[in-house]
Chain A
C-alpha cells in the first residue's frame, strides 16, 4: 500500500515537473516524453499498490486520482495547447509582409519599413501572447 502512496506522489511530481522544469528545454518540451515517463512509472506503482492492498479503498482512490491527472495531462498537450486559430491568411513565404506602425517601449511610433530599411540583412518578427 506504500506503493500507491509513492505512485500518487510521483503523479503529482510528474504533473508539476512539466511547467516548472521540463518546459524550459526544447528536447523535453516539444514532446513531453520525460514527464510521461514519470507518469508511466507512477501509474505502474499505483496499479501495483491497488493489487497489493486488496479490499482497501484508499489505494483505489489514489490510483483513480493519479490516473485522472495523467489523463488530464495527455489531453492538455494533445488538445488544449493546440486550440489555436488557423491563421490561413497569414503572410506566406514570398509574400510582402504587411506594413504596420506601432509604438515601441519608449512610446515612439515604429514602422516595419523603417526597421527593414535600417536592418543590415533583415528583421525577425515575433508575435507573442503577452502578459509576461
Chain B
C-alpha cells in the first residue's frame, strides 16, 4: 500500500493513469507520516510538509520485518529487494 499527503481524488487519478490496483491512502495532515518519523518539512508544493520516501514490510502480526529508509531521493527500494524480503515471511 502507498501513503502520501495527496488527497484521495489525486491518488485515484494517479491509480487510473498508472493502472495501480493496490491501496493508496491519503495523509494530508501528516498523522501517519509523523508517527513513522518520516516528515520532510516544507518540501512539498507551496512549502507544505510531505513524506520523505521510505518502504516497510510488515508481517501479519503487525511487526516490521524489513525496511528501507533511503538517504537519497533518487535511490529507492527495488521491487526485487522487496520480493526477496517478502519471501522470508512465514
Contact = CB atoms under 8 A, between A and B. Distances in A.
A121 interface: yes
Most B CB contacts (10 A, CB to CB) among A84, A95, A104, A130 go to A130
Contact of B36 (A29, A98, A105, A122): A98
A90 B37 contact: yes
Interface residues of A, number: 48
Interface in A96-123: 96-100, 102-107, 110, 112-113, 115-117, 119, 121-123
Chain B interface size band reads: 35 or more
Contacts of B32: 98, 100, 102
Nearest to B80: A26
- By CB atoms of chain B within 10 A, which of A26, A98, A127 has the most? A127
Given A93-B66, A127-B54, A85 B39 contact: yes
A121 B86 contact: yes
A82 B67 CA distance: 18
The A interface, classified by DSSP as helix, strand, loop or mixed, is loop
Given A125-B56, A126-B2, 10 more contacts: A97-B62, A99-B62, A102-B26, A105-B15, A119-B60, A121-B86, A122-B58, A123-B1, A124-B82, A128-B3
18 contacts: A87-B52, A88-B37, A90-B67, A91-B56, A91-B67, A97-B58, A102-B31, A113-B62, A122-B57, A122-B58, A124-B57, A126-B1, A128-B3, A128-B53, A130-B6, A130-B44, A131-B50, A132-B6
Interface of B: 1-6, 8-12, 14-15, 23-27, 31-33, 35-41, 43-45, 50-67, 69-75, 78, 82, 86, 89-90
